[in-house]
Amino acid sequence: MTATARLTISLSSLSDNYRRLNRHATGDVAAVVKANAYGLGLKPVATSLWQCGCREFFVATLAEGIALRAVLGEAIIYVLSGAVAGTVATFVTHGVIPVLNTPSQVVAWQGQSAAAAVHVDTGMARLGLAWQDAEKVLQSIDFPLALLISHFARADEVHHGFSALQKQRFFSLCRTLQGRGLPGRGGQLRISLCNSAAILDGLCQSDSETENLGRGGIAMYGGNPFHNQPNPMDAVVKLEGQIVQVRTVESGQAVGYGGTYVATDSTRVATVGLGYADGVPRLLSNRGRVFVNGKFSPIIGRISMDLLQIDVSNCAAQEGDWVEVFGRTICIDECASHAETLSYEILTGIGRRPERSYINESLS
């Protein structure tokens, strides 16, 4: 170990989380591996998921799809941004499937023998065909339809009425399309609506509202998919820093840039060798905490690019000890909450500098 910051990723916990999603799903579960598998490394994450049975994957961009194709030659890969102008031939060459979002993208794909998916916006007002117009657009397609998808805006808020409205719009459209004979690839219209929270909450488990393919995202990576429920998933990621110095600061002495923390008593202060360049949010300054030698210790002063400081007056911390910023003891969602953000941003914001280890056991 030559760095003072390290990141441990449990591939076994990742796989266990994927299997947990499968147990709740009404059909198969695809893995969302966009943004370098939520910052954890596309190749090791995708390979591990493939080995535990995942065969369909979602990425955000064509470049990500091409990168994933180089890792998994036989996977079914969907690109959420769709086939923008001039990219149709590249999609076909690499065998990745665009999720078409606009009427112009649908037109650009017309005449292709390769399948495409289509995204219907049922109320999120982000990507997709407007649900009111989707039937007209879809009736004109002459290419194989791999998948019809939509996306919940508030599935993390269990029992929120907007999810019911989105469901009603989406499945009403599906029934209309099937009634008018719009087939999917293989003669069946395959549909995908549920993200992690929706899968776990069973939002598509009624007889008339069953989907073929759920999409596992943050829950696979150990984040809590719910806004107002306990986290049912196993921790996958642990970020740690090594103590590089311990000193005693006397009452009245300021700590760190700007003097934002002033000791009110004699205080043992440990300086830890990681900072915001390693993925520790600067907003944790004077409000977050770490775990060291069986004790929680508050972060004091401003977090800098390479260092943060903690009050270790209550524990026997010393130079060389390792400090957990988030992991099994301090969940990533607690870290995100203190930083006024989401676990998604914490994961994708992890820097390149921490030394990475992939393990096939639970985090210690």
Determine the residue type at 300: I
Query: 């219209």: which residue's tokens?
Result: 189
Task: State the catalytic residue, choosing from 34, 38, 78, 167.
Answer: 34
Q: Give the per-residue pLDDT at 80.
A: 98
The region, left, alpha or beta by phi > 0 then psi within -120 to 50, assigned to residue 52 is alpha
Q: Give the per-residue pLDDT at 179.
A: 76
Q: How far is residue 287 CA from its own chain's centroid? A: 25
Q: Give the per-residue pLDDT at 238.
A: 98
Residue 78 is among the residues annotated as catalytic for this protein: no
Nearest to 209 by CA among 221, 225, 224, 192: 192
Distance set, CA 122 to CA 59, 131, 133, 134 (Å): 21, 5, 11, 10
**Which DSSP symbol is given to 235?**
P
Asked if 145 and 184 count as a contact pair (C-beta separation under 8 A), the reply is yes
154, burial (CB in 10 Å: exposed 0-12, middle 13-18, buried 19+): middle
Distance CA 72, CA 68 (A): 6
pLDDT tens digit sequence for 32-81: 999 999 999 999 999 999 999 999 999 999 999 999 999 999 999 999 99
Residue 261 is among the residues annotated as catalytic for this protein: no
**Which DSSP symbol is given to 282?**
G
Distance CA 232, CA 211 (A): 22
Domains present along the chain, CATH in parentheses = 11-221 (3.20.20.10), 237-359 (2.40.37.10)
Distance CA 65, CA 76 (A): 10
pLDDT tens digit sequence for 68-94: 999 999 999 999 999 988 999 999 999
Q: Is 107 helix (H, G, I), strand (E, B) or coil?
A: helix
Distance set, CA 251 to CA 50, 125, 258, 309, 318 (Å): 56, 54, 17, 16, 21
Asked if 153 and 195 count as a contact pair (C-beta separation under 8 A), the reply is no
Q: pLDDT (tens digit, 0 to 9) for every residue of the chain, 364 residues total?
A: 689 999 999 999 999 999 999 999 999 999 999 999 999 999 999 999 999 999 999 999 999 999 999 999 999 999 999 998 899 999 999 999 999 999 999 999 999 999 999 999 999 999 999 999 999 999 889 999 999 999 999 999 998 999 999 999 999 999 888 877 666 555 678 999 999 999 999 988 776 678 899 999 999 999 999 988 999 999 999 999 999 999 999 999 999 999 999 999 999 999 999 999 999 999 999 999 999 999 999 999 999 999 999 999 999 999 999 999 999 999 999 999 999 999 999 999 999 999 999 999 999 8
Q: Give the per-residue pLDDT at 39.
A: 98
Name residues whose C-beta falls within 8 Å of residue 137's C-beta, 6 or more positions apart in sequence.
103, 106, 129
Distance CA 102, CA 85 (A): 12
Q: Is 359 helix (H, G, I), strand (E, B) or coil?
A: strand
Query: 């370098």: which residue's tokens?
Result: 36
Q: Give the per-residue pLDDT at 184.
A: 59
Task: State the catalytic residue, choosing from 18, 38, 257, 261.
Answer: 257
Nearest to 282 by CA among 260, 261, 304, 258: 304
* Number of C-beta neighbours around residue 228 at 10 A: 10
Q: What pTM was estimated for this model as a whole?
A: 0.95
Q: Give the per-residue pLDDT at 133.
A: 92
